[in-house]
Structure 1
Amino acid sequence: MNKKGFFEVITERRSVRHYDPTVKISRDELKQMVAEATLAPSSSNLQPWRFLIIDDQALKEKLLPIAFNQKQVVEAAAVIAVLADYEGYKQAEKIYQKAIDAGYMTEETKATLIANIHRRYENRERSQIKDVALVDGGLVAMQFMLVAKARGYDTVPMGGYHDERFKEAFHISDRYETVMLIAVGKAAQPGHPTTRLDVEDITFWNEMPST
């Protein structure tokens, strides 16, 4: 596969809402795309992101009214639900042991990090965990969209869906927060070009203006 260069990816990526329904993406490739996306950074490397991949057509049809009948849901090869795990910190032992096995961390460092994480998270308000996890979820979601573009696919991030109905329909417990849905496939129509504010309009040096 000839993957696109980085600057091609960031300049050519568009939010695509019309997909070729005949194009499928294998589960092996989707798993590889997720693996590449999860190279994104996360707080304390706790990786609280989780992914529900919906590639069954009947289930995409089930999702359609929940997502306010946005056609990309049923036309795209798959819909990725990016979730944040409120109990993600409980994977610290597994994550840091892998770091030890890879030679990236000592046992002493691991013990210190795990003690600090449990101290921070076990008494932390749910809303505080959510704030961190949503940032991490946004990072991995953007990376997934860039990975998809590099592989020749198109995506659109979706916030337009009924969250509670989605959780109920797909049996998602309160342990998880939904970050967004991402439709992924091959564009049937290109995404609309868009404009951006000038850098001068959004960038300040050393201090913010008073107004």
Structure 2
Amino acid sequence: MDTFTAIRERRSVKLYDPEFVMPQQDIDRLLELATLSPTSFNIQNWRFVVIRDKELREQLCAAAWNQAQVREASALIMVCADLNAWGLRTERYWANAPEETRKMLVGMIHQFYKDDKQLQRDEALRSSGMAAQTIMVAAKAMGYDTCPMIGFDMETVSRLIKLPKDHVIGMMIAVGKAVQPARPRGGQLPLDEIVFEDTF
């Protein structure tokens, strides 16, 4: 499937075939593609938790107000981010760059993020959002459906997945084979209402 078609046909599907099992190589492929998503300064601050344990899936389903896709989709991926990735062995983000370039960029990373907690959080959520979109478009291109979710009790889910204190959850994504298509689109706003030239 070409990229334009995958973008147009990607929908938030709620009902999945609980008997279908995604091959491990397809899950690996989705995550490998996600790691090609852009991040500021190449800090790669996303972290992915693939939930396999059935009992844990049931607990997560309860924390998501019993939304069936949490239990029934073939894969459940928690898209998270490390808030402190900007300051953790930053030279590795530019390991293949010339030494002078690497030193310059590492210095810039520290200068940009070190005293701004809000920017660190914003960056983590921006990065996890871009990775999530990569997963969803890639999944559609591979013949799967997805559902991005924030409809869950964040505190409970954080505890269940043992989220480190310096990490944040962007969203969870259900991935699998739909047994019922998504509802028709609710309605897209026209471009002349959302696109501006030069200034608002």
Question: Considering the TM-score relative to the shorter chain, is it more than 0.5?
Answer: yes
Matched, 1:8 2:1: no
Residue type at the aligned position of 1:114:
V
SS in 1 for 2:48: strand
Q: What is the CA RMSD across the aligned residues, in angstroms?
A: 1.3
Aligned to 1:69: 66
Matched, 1:95 2:87: no
Aligned to 1:159: 150
Aligned to 1:187: 178
Equivalences for 1:21-60 in 2 at 5 Å? 21-60=18-57
- Kindly state the Cα deviation for residue 91 of structure 1 after the two structures are TM-superposed: 4.4
State which drifts further: 33-42 or 143-152: 33-42
Quick one: which of 125, 128, 134 aligns to 1:137? 128
SS in 2 for 1:61: helix
In 1, distance between residues paired with 2:89 and 2:110? Answer: 11
TM-score by length of 2: 0.94
In 2, distance between residues paired with 1:191 and 1:130? Answer: 32
Segments of structure 1 that go 5 or more residues without pairing to the other structure are: none
- Kindly state the Cα deviation for residue 127 of structure 1 after the two structures are TM-superposed: 2.4
Report if aligned partners of 1:46, 1:91 keep a CA contact under 8 Å in 2: no
- Kindly state the Cα deviation for residue 121 of structure 1 after the two structures are TM-superposed: 2.9
Report if aligned partners of 1:86, 1:130 keep a CA contact under 8 Å in 2: yes
Identity percentage of aligned residues? 38
Report if aligned partners of 2:38, 2:130 keep a CA contact under 8 Å in 1: yes
Report if aligned partners of 2:148, 2:173 keep a CA contact under 8 Å in 1: yes
TM-score by length of 1: 0.89
Aligned to 2:194: 202
SS in 2 for 1:41: coil
In 2, distance between residues paired with 1:154 and 1:88? Answer: 30
Segments of structure 2 that go 5 or more residues without pairing to the other structure are: none
In 2, distance between residues paired with 1:13 and 1:29? Answer: 17
Aligned to 2:75: 78
Aligned residues between the structures: 198
- Kindly state the Cα deviation for residue 184 of structure 1 after the two structures are TM-superposed: 0.5
Report if aligned partners of 1:14, 1:193 keep a CA contact under 8 Å in 2: no
**Superposed structure 1 runs of 4+ greater than 4 Å apart:** none
* Residues 1-34 of structure 1, C-alpha deviations (whole Å, 9 max, x = no match): xxx1112101111100000001111333212111
